[in-house]
Protein backbone atom coordinates (compact mmCIF):
# COMPACT_ATOMS: atom_id res chain seq x y z
CA UNK A 1 0.00 0.00 0.00
CA UNK A 2 1.34 3.47 -0.84
CA UNK A 3 2.26 5.55 2.21
CA UNK A 4 -0.56 7.47 3.86
CA UNK A 5 1.12 10.74 2.93
CA UNK A 6 1.25 9.87 -0.76
CA UNK A 7 -2.39 8.72 -0.60
CA UNK A 8 -3.39 12.03 0.99
CA UNK A 9 -1.52 13.93 -1.72
CA UNK A 10 -3.73 12.26 -4.34
CA UNK A 11 -6.70 13.95 -2.67
CA UNK A 12 -10.21 12.58 -2.28
CA UNK A 13 -11.46 10.73 -5.32
CA UNK A 14 -13.36 7.72 -6.64
CA UNK A 15 -11.52 5.33 -4.29
CA UNK A 16 -10.48 7.61 -1.43
CA UNK A 17 -12.38 9.60 1.18
CA UNK A 18 -11.15 11.59 4.21
CA UNK A 19 -13.01 11.80 7.50
CA UNK A 20 -11.72 13.90 10.38
CA UNK A 21 -13.86 11.88 12.74
CA UNK A 22 -16.91 9.59 12.55
CA UNK A 23 -19.93 11.32 14.03
CA UNK A 24 -22.86 9.93 12.10
CA UNK A 25 -23.61 6.26 11.28
CA UNK A 26 -26.06 7.19 8.47
CA UNK A 27 -23.53 9.43 6.72
CA UNK A 28 -20.77 6.87 6.93
CA UNK A 29 -23.10 4.16 5.54
CA UNK A 30 -23.47 6.29 2.40
CA UNK A 31 -19.68 6.28 1.83
CA UNK A 32 -19.33 2.55 2.60
CA UNK A 33 -22.13 1.66 0.17
CA UNK A 34 -20.80 3.94 -2.58
CA UNK A 35 -17.36 2.27 -2.40
CA UNK A 36 -18.77 -1.29 -2.25
CA UNK A 37 -21.02 -0.58 -5.27
CA UNK A 38 -18.04 0.80 -7.19
CA UNK A 39 -14.53 -0.63 -7.34
CA UNK A 40 -13.97 -0.48 -3.57
CA UNK A 41 -12.05 2.22 -1.73
CA UNK A 42 -10.37 3.49 1.42
CA UNK A 43 -11.66 5.77 4.14
CA UNK A 44 -8.93 7.62 6.03
CA UNK A 45 -10.25 8.50 9.48
CA UNK A 46 -8.29 11.19 11.29
CA UNK A 47 -7.64 13.19 8.12
CA UNK A 48 -9.46 16.49 7.47
CA UNK A 49 -10.96 17.42 4.07
CA UNK A 50 -7.94 19.60 3.29
CA UNK A 51 -5.62 16.60 3.80
CA UNK A 52 -4.19 17.70 7.15
CA UNK A 53 -3.59 14.82 9.57
CA UNK A 54 -5.55 15.32 12.81
CA UNK A 55 -5.26 11.80 14.16
CA UNK A 56 -7.86 9.61 15.83
CA UNK A 57 -8.50 9.97 19.57
CA UNK A 58 -10.13 6.61 20.19
CA UNK A 59 -9.74 4.09 17.37
CA UNK A 60 -11.96 1.58 19.22
CA UNK A 61 -14.85 4.04 19.28
CA UNK A 62 -14.38 4.89 15.58
CA UNK A 63 -14.18 1.20 14.66
CA UNK A 64 -17.34 0.46 16.64
CA UNK A 65 -19.23 3.26 14.83
CA UNK A 66 -18.03 2.07 11.41
CA UNK A 67 -18.87 -1.58 12.07
CA UNK A 68 -22.31 -0.64 13.44
CA UNK A 69 -22.88 1.37 10.28
CA UNK A 70 -21.55 -1.40 8.00
CA UNK A 71 -23.72 -4.09 9.62
CA UNK A 72 -26.91 -2.23 10.56
CA UNK A 73 -27.13 0.73 8.18
CA UNK A 74 -25.95 -1.07 5.02
CA UNK A 75 -27.99 -3.72 3.24
CA UNK A 76 -26.56 -6.26 2.44
CA UNK A 77 -24.06 -5.77 5.27
CA UNK A 78 -20.53 -4.69 4.35
CA UNK A 79 -17.34 -6.13 5.88
CA UNK A 80 -14.62 -3.45 6.00
CA UNK A 81 -11.18 -4.26 7.37
CA UNK A 82 -8.99 -1.87 9.33
CA UNK A 83 -5.35 -0.83 9.44
CA UNK A 84 -3.89 1.45 12.09
CA UNK A 85 -1.03 3.60 10.84
CA UNK A 86 0.95 6.21 12.74
CA UNK A 87 1.92 9.32 10.78
CA UNK A 88 3.99 11.95 12.63
CA UNK A 89 2.90 10.40 15.95
CA UNK A 90 -0.77 10.68 15.01
CA UNK A 91 -2.95 7.63 14.47
CA UNK A 92 -4.79 7.34 11.14
CA UNK A 93 -7.41 4.61 10.90
CA UNK A 94 -7.54 3.17 7.37
CA UNK A 95 -10.90 1.57 6.57
CA UNK A 96 -10.68 -0.70 3.52
CA UNK A 97 -13.93 -1.40 1.68
CA UNK A 98 -13.52 -4.06 -0.99
CA UNK A 99 -15.60 -4.04 -4.18
CA UNK A 100 -18.67 -6.14 -3.45
CA UNK A 101 -19.92 -9.18 -5.32
CA UNK A 102 -23.41 -8.78 -3.83
CA UNK A 103 -24.28 -5.41 -5.40
CA UNK A 104 -26.28 -3.25 -5.13
CA UNK A 105 -25.84 -2.19 -1.50
CA UNK A 106 -28.26 0.27 0.09
CA UNK A 107 -27.71 2.73 2.95
CA UNK A 108 -30.35 3.65 5.52
CA UNK A 109 -31.04 7.39 5.81
CA UNK A 110 -32.40 9.32 8.79
CA UNK A 111 -35.94 9.00 7.36
CA UNK A 112 -35.53 5.19 7.60
CA UNK A 113 -35.42 4.79 3.82
CA UNK A 114 -32.91 2.65 1.92
CA UNK A 115 -30.97 4.22 -0.99
CA UNK A 116 -28.19 2.96 -3.25
CA UNK A 117 -25.16 5.18 -3.86
CA UNK A 118 -22.17 5.07 -6.17
CA UNK A 119 -18.93 6.97 -6.08
CA UNK A 120 -18.57 9.76 -8.60
CA UNK A 121 -15.23 11.59 -8.43
CA UNK A 122 -14.97 12.59 -4.76
CA UNK A 123 -18.69 12.36 -3.92
CA UNK A 124 -21.15 9.61 -3.03
CA UNK A 125 -24.17 10.15 -5.27
CA UNK A 126 -27.56 8.50 -5.50
CA UNK A 127 -27.60 5.67 -8.07
CA UNK A 128 -30.10 6.16 -10.89
CA UNK A 129 -32.47 3.37 -11.95
CA UNK A 130 -30.22 2.51 -14.86
CA UNK A 131 -27.12 2.30 -12.65
CA UNK A 132 -29.08 0.10 -10.22
CA UNK A 133 -29.99 -2.30 -13.04
CA UNK A 134 -26.36 -2.41 -14.14
CA UNK A 135 -25.23 -3.15 -10.55
CA UNK A 136 -27.83 -5.91 -10.19
CA UNK A 137 -26.84 -7.60 -13.42
CA UNK A 138 -23.13 -6.88 -13.51
CA UNK A 139 -21.98 -9.93 -11.55
CA UNK A 140 -24.47 -12.23 -13.31
CA UNK A 141 -23.37 -11.29 -16.78
CA UNK A 142 -19.99 -12.82 -17.19
CA UNK A 143 -19.64 -12.80 -20.93
CA UNK A 144 -22.99 -11.48 -22.10
CA UNK A 145 -23.57 -11.99 -25.77
CA UNK A 146 -25.56 -9.30 -27.46
CA UNK A 147 -27.19 -9.65 -30.81
CA UNK A 148 -27.65 -6.16 -32.15
CA UNK A 149 -31.26 -5.50 -33.00
CA UNK A 150 -32.52 -2.38 -34.78
CA UNK A 151 -32.76 -0.65 -31.40
CA UNK A 152 -29.06 -1.04 -30.64
CA UNK A 153 -28.15 -0.05 -34.19
CA UNK A 154 -30.27 3.10 -33.97
CA UNK A 155 -28.54 4.10 -30.75
CA UNK A 156 -25.03 3.51 -32.10
CA UNK A 157 -25.82 5.39 -35.33
CA UNK A 158 -27.16 8.28 -33.27
CA UNK A 159 -24.04 8.32 -31.08
CA UNK A 160 -21.80 8.21 -34.15
CA UNK A 161 -23.27 11.58 -35.13
CA UNK A 162 -24.03 13.05 -31.70
CA UNK A 163 -21.85 13.25 -28.64
CA UNK A 164 -24.39 11.95 -26.11
CA UNK A 165 -27.97 10.87 -25.51
CA UNK A 166 -30.33 10.84 -22.50
CA UNK A 167 -32.91 8.17 -21.64
CA UNK A 168 -35.68 10.58 -22.65
CA UNK A 169 -34.08 11.25 -26.06
CA UNK A 170 -33.47 7.55 -26.63
CA UNK A 171 -37.04 6.51 -25.85
CA UNK A 172 -38.18 9.24 -28.27
CA UNK A 173 -35.77 7.94 -30.92
CA UNK A 174 -37.13 4.38 -30.54
CA UNK A 175 -40.70 5.58 -29.98
CA UNK A 176 -40.92 3.19 -27.05
CA UNK A 177 -41.41 3.24 -23.28
CA UNK A 178 -38.68 4.39 -20.89
CA UNK A 179 -38.56 0.83 -19.56
CA UNK A 180 -37.77 -0.71 -22.93
CA UNK A 181 -35.20 1.99 -23.76
CA UNK A 182 -33.63 1.47 -20.33
CA UNK A 183 -33.22 -2.27 -21.00
CA UNK A 184 -31.26 -1.60 -24.20
CA UNK A 185 -29.04 0.95 -22.43
CA UNK A 186 -28.31 -1.41 -19.52
CA UNK A 187 -27.26 -4.22 -21.89
CA UNK A 188 -24.95 -1.92 -23.81
CA UNK A 189 -23.38 -0.57 -20.58
CA UNK A 190 -22.77 -4.14 -19.38
CA UNK A 191 -21.05 -5.10 -22.64
CA UNK A 192 -18.95 -1.93 -22.48
CA UNK A 193 -20.34 -0.46 -25.69
CA UNK A 194 -21.65 2.70 -24.07
CA UNK A 195 -20.79 4.52 -20.87
CA UNK A 196 -23.06 6.25 -18.39
CA UNK A 197 -22.30 9.74 -17.00
CA UNK A 198 -24.10 11.50 -14.19
CA UNK A 199 -23.92 15.25 -13.76
CA UNK A 200 -25.78 17.38 -11.21
CA UNK A 201 -28.53 18.02 -13.77
CA UNK A 202 -28.87 14.85 -15.82
CA UNK A 203 -27.71 11.37 -16.65
CA UNK A 204 -26.50 10.80 -20.19
CA UNK A 205 -24.76 8.13 -22.26
CA UNK A 206 -21.83 8.19 -24.67
CA UNK A 207 -20.20 5.59 -26.93
CA UNK A 208 -17.06 3.94 -25.59
CA UNK A 209 -14.24 5.11 -27.84
State the pLDDT at residue 201.
Answer: 79
Q: Please tell me whether residues 111 and 147 are part of one structural domain.
A: no
Q: Please tell me whether residues 95 and 54 are part of one structural domain.
A: yes
Choose one of 82, 97, 126: the last residue of a domain: 126
State the pLDDT at residue 111.
Answer: 92
Q: Mean pLDDT, the chain, as a whole number?
A: 91
Q: Please tell me whether residues 36 and 85 are part of one structural domain.
A: yes
Q: Is the peptide bond before 99 cis (omega within 30 degrees of 0)?
A: no
State the pLDDT at residue 148.
Answer: 73
3-state secondary structure the chain: CCCHHHHHHHCCECCEEEECCCCCHHHHHHHHHHHHHCCCEEEEECECCCCCECCCCCHHHHHHHHHHHHHHCEECCCCCEEEEEEECCEEEEEEEECCCCCCCCEEECCCCCEEEEEEECCEEEECCHHHHHHHHHHCCCCCCCCCCCHHHHHHHHHHHHCCCECHHHHHHHHCCCHHHHHHHHHHHHHCCCEEEEECCCCEEEEECC
| Residue ranges of the chain whose pLDDT lies below 70 | 1-2, 139-147
Q: Please tell me whether residues 51 and 151 are part of one structural domain.
A: no
Residue 100 Cα distances to 8, 75, 77, angstroms: 24, 12, 10
Domain count, the chain: 2
State the pLDDT at residue 176.
Answer: 93
Query: pTM value?
Result: 0.82
Q: Which residues neighbour 12 within 8 Å (Cβ) at sequence distance 6 or greater?
A: 18, 49, 122
Beta strands 16-19; 41-45: pairing state: parallel
CA atoms of 7 and 46, how far apart (whole Å): 14
Choose one of 68, 98, 126: the last residue of a domain: 126
State the pLDDT at residue 155.
Answer: 94
Judged on CB neighbours under 10 Å (0-12, 13-18, 19+), 62 is buried
Give how far the C-alpha of residue 184 lies from the chain's centroid of Cα atoms, to the nearest Å.
22
State the pLDDT at residue 149.
Answer: 82
Range(s) of the domain holding residue 73: 4-126
CATH of the domain at 121: 3.30.950.30
Other Cβ atoms less than 10 A from the Cβ of 176: the count is 15
Choose one of 103, 126, 149: the last residue of a domain: 126
Q: Please tell me whether residues 47 and 71 are part of one structural domain.
A: yes
CATH of the domain at 140: 1.10.10.10
Amino acid sequence: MPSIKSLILQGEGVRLDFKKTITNTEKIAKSLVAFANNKGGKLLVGVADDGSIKGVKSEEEEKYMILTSAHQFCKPAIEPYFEEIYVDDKLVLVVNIPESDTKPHYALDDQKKWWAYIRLDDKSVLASRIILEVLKQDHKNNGVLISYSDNEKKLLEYLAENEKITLKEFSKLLRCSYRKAQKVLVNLILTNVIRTHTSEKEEYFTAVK
